[in-house]
C-alpha cells in the first residue's frame, strides 16, 4: 500500500492507523499547491479531488476520504481492534465521532488556514469552533482515556490530528484540560511518535 500525504494534514490520521496496525506501506508526499507528488506525478490523476489522503492499495485501487480509509483499514486488517465490529452500537458510536470530527471540527478549522481571512470572520470562525470543541470536551467528563472508553480507536487518531492544528493556528486549548490530556496521551503512543517523525513533525507538544 502507498499513502499519499501532506505533512501534518488530515492524512496523518490514516498514517497513524497504518502504524498502529503494523501494516506494510510506503509514503509519498504531495505538494497541495502544485498538486504534484514527490515522484513528480500529477496527483489529480491519482485523486481527482486534489487533496490528501489517498491510499493506493496493492491491486492499484485508490481509496480517498480519511474517515473511509481508516474504517477500511480497521475492518480489513484487524476487525474489532481499532474499531468495534460493524453493525454494533459500539461501532455506531465510533462512526458518530468520526462524522462529527470530519463535518464539524475539521471543517471548522478550515477557514483559519486562510491567511486572508479578515479579523471579524476569524472571530466568528473561532467562536463556531469553540462551541464544537466544548462538545468534544464533554465526552471525557467521566474521566475516560479515549472518545468511547478505555481503548484507542480510529476516531481518536482523527481527533488528535485536528487538535494538533490548534496551536499553529493560534488557538489555546489549555483551558480544556480533558482535551489537552487526551492530546498528550495520544502523542505518547509509539505509532503516533513514529508517524510524526516520518512526516518531519515535532514529536513533543
Whether the Cβ atoms of residue 183 and residue 164 lie closer than 8 Å to each other: yes
**Does residue 73 carry a pLDDT above 90?**
yes
Residue 95 has a pLDDT of 97
- In this predicted structure, what is the pLDDT of residue 205? 82
For residue 167, the model assigns a pLDDT of 92
Per-residue pLDDT, averaged over 104-120, amounts to 95
pLDDT higher than 90, residue 40 = yes
Task: Please give the CATH number for the structural domain made up of 89-189.
Answer: 1.20.1050.10
Please give the pLDDT value at position 5: 98
pLDDT of residue 174: 85
pLDDT of residue 20: 98
pLDDT 10s digits, 88-108:
999 999 999 999 999 999 999
| pLDDT band at 195; cut points 50, 70, 90 | very high
Residue 4 pLDDT greater than 90, yes or no: yes
For the chain, domain boundaries: 2-80+192-198, 89-189
Average pLDDT, whole number, for the chain?
A: 96
**Which residue has 485501487 as its cell numbers?**
61
User: Are the beta carbons of 7 and 199 closer than 8 angstroms?
Assistant: yes
Please name which of 186, 187, 171 lies closest in space to residue 133, comparing C-alpha atoms. 171
Q: Calculate mean pLDDT across residues 48-69.
A: 98
3-class secondary structure, 161? helix
Q: What is the pLDDT of residue 120?
A: 96
DSSP annotation string for 32-85: TTTTEETTS-BGGGT-TT--S-EEE-TTS-EEESHHHHHHHHHHHHSTTTSSPP
pLDDT score recorded for residue 173: 87
CATH entry, 2-80+192-198, from 3.30.200.20, 3.40.30.10, 2.130.10.10, 3.30.70.260: 3.40.30.10
Cα–Cα distance, 102 to 87 (Å, whole number): 21
pLDDT tens-digit series, residues 162-181? 999 999 999 988 889 999 99
3-class state of residue 86 by DSSP: coil
Amino acid at each position: 500500500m502507498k499513502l499519499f500525504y501532506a505533512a501534518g494534514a488530515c492524512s496523518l490520521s490514516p498514517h497513524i492507523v497504518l502504524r498502529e496496525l503494523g501494516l506494510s506501506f510506503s509514503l509519498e508526499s504531495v505538494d497541495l499547491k502544485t498538486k504534484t507528488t514527490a515522484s513528480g506525478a500529477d496527483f489529480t490523476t491519482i485523486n481527482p479531488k486534489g487533496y490528501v489522503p489517498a491510499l493506493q492499495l496493492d491491486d492499484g485501487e485508490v481509496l480517498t476520504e480519511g474517515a473511509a480509509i481508516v474504517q477500511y483499514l480497521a475492518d480489513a486488517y484487524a476487525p474489532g481492534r481499532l474499531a468495534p465490529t460493524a453493525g454494533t452500537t459500539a461501532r455506531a458510536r465510533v462512526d458518530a465521532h468520526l462524522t462529527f470530527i470530519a463535518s464539524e471540527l475539521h471543517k471548522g478549522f478550515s477557514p483559519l488556514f486562510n491567511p486572508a481571512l479578515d479579523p471579524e470572520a476569524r472571530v466568528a470562525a473561532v467562536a463556531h469552533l469553540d462551541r464544537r470543541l466544548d462538545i468534544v470536551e464533554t465526552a471525557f467528563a467521566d474521566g475516560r482515556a479515549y472518545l468511547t472508553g478505555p481503548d484507542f480507536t480510529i476516531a481518536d487518531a482523527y481527533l488528535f490530528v485536528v487538535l494538533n492544528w490548534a496551536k499553529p493556528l493560534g488557538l489555546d486549548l489549555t483551558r480544556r484540560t480533558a482535551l489537552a490530556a487526551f492530546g498528550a496521551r495520544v502523542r505518547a503512543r509509539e505509532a503516533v511518535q513514529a508517524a510524526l517523525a516520518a512526516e518531519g513533525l515535532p514529536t513533543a507538544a
